[in-house]
Structure 1
Amino acid sequence: MSNHPQWLARFIEVYQQLSVDNIDTIASLYDDNVTFQDPMHLLQGKEALMQYFHRIYTHVSECRFDITQVISSEDNAAIYWQMTYRHSKLNGGQQIIVEGHSMLSAKDGLIAQHRDYVDLGAMVYQHVPVLGKVIKYINQRAAV
């Protein structure tokens, strides 16, 4: 991955080593005015982003990212990943594996925009005890 811009190589390295114990390492990747968006949140600023990550990571006992593909230019990238995580209230506390991707834009060597695309049903909803059965039923019906 050495043929990627330095900001992107750092992002990949940090996220592949990210765990519940070293969440603060990601702060060095982001611009103070970063815009972050995922299917449920739109955040402005590094402080808001770090608060968000701390909230999320206090509820998981494991979270790991495996980068599967990277498409990049000097200041933009698409990162395809597989996230494995474990949350005590989802899937009986067992591992959940979800695929997604992130669109990144950098400015002056720091990430200025980060947008995550992930299927919330696969990530959360289908692992909630009662709701999960409903989601699975809907998915089966839609496939007919």
Structure 2
Amino acid sequence: MGFITLTGCSSKSKDRSPDWARNTEAVSRTAAVQLMDPDAERQALQRFSDFYAVYSPEAIRAGVRSVYDENAWFGDPFRIVEGMDEIEHYFLVMAEPVKSCTFTVDSISRSGIDYFARWTMELESKAAEGEIIRTIGISHVRFNASGKVVFQQDYWDASAMLDRLPVVGYWTRLVKDRIEKGLEQ
């Protein structure tokens, strides 16, 4: 969910793409997390939902450290980052080109120690004011016993934003159009 840009992004991290091996390692490393008690669970899920309700530099600075563990792992279609400082930096970079962004957590399901948050993002870029980008996604999240996120992998269609970039958008729309034409035959 912290993965928003229409003008490109940078991060101190050199890892610029999803990496199955690193994801698998992070899942294994966090497999021993303890279940939260019901009250801690309710509070953790509320903090998570509230944090993403308004995605802005101010909200990130004010809330990221109350939501994420110091050693948390975060991955999305653009980047993998590890540790609080890297996560905060990445979120701030991604929020920079944004005029407004909200995430509505539509539902959260739990399976053992894994939580799956289905969400809807509405984004307006500073580069394309007045044009609202809407997309849906899912966050796979694990919390520690204190209710802080230790693992989060976001899954969503990044082309919803890439389609609107001047050069990249041409190519993503071209690929989508060719797939669509192939399906129509």
- TM norm structure 1: 0.84
Q: Deviations over 1:37-92 (max 9, x none)?
A: 00121111010000001101111101101111110257431000000001134xx4
One of 155, 162, 177 as aligned partner of 1:117: 155
One of 136, 151, 158 as aligned partner of 1:99: 136
Distance 1:31 1:142, change over 3 A: farther
- TM norm structure 2: 0.67
Higher-Rg member (1/2):
2
Contact 1:5 1:74 in 2 (8 A): no
**CA-atom RMSD, angstroms?**
2.2
Please identify which structure carries the higher strand content.
1
Contact 2:51 2:59 in 1 (8 A): no
Give the deviation of 1:5 after TM superposition. 3.1
Q: 2-side partners of 1:41 and 1:52: how far apart?
A: 9
Q: 2-side partners of 1:102 and 1:23: how far apart?
A: 17
Q: Give 2:36's aligned residue.
A: none
Runs (5+) with no aligned partner, structure 1: none
Distance 1:103 1:79, change over 3 A: same
Contact 1:61 1:87 in 2 (8 A): yes
Q: Give 2:18's aligned residue.
A: none
For 1:127, what is the secondary structure of its paired residue?
coil
Q: What percentage of aligned pairs have identical amino acids?
A: 24
How many corresponding residue pairs? Answer: 140
Q: Deviations over 1:81-128 (max 9, x none)?
A: 000001134xx4311001001010011321000110001112x22222
| AA in 2 matched with 1:23 | I
| AA in 2 matched with 1:52 | Y
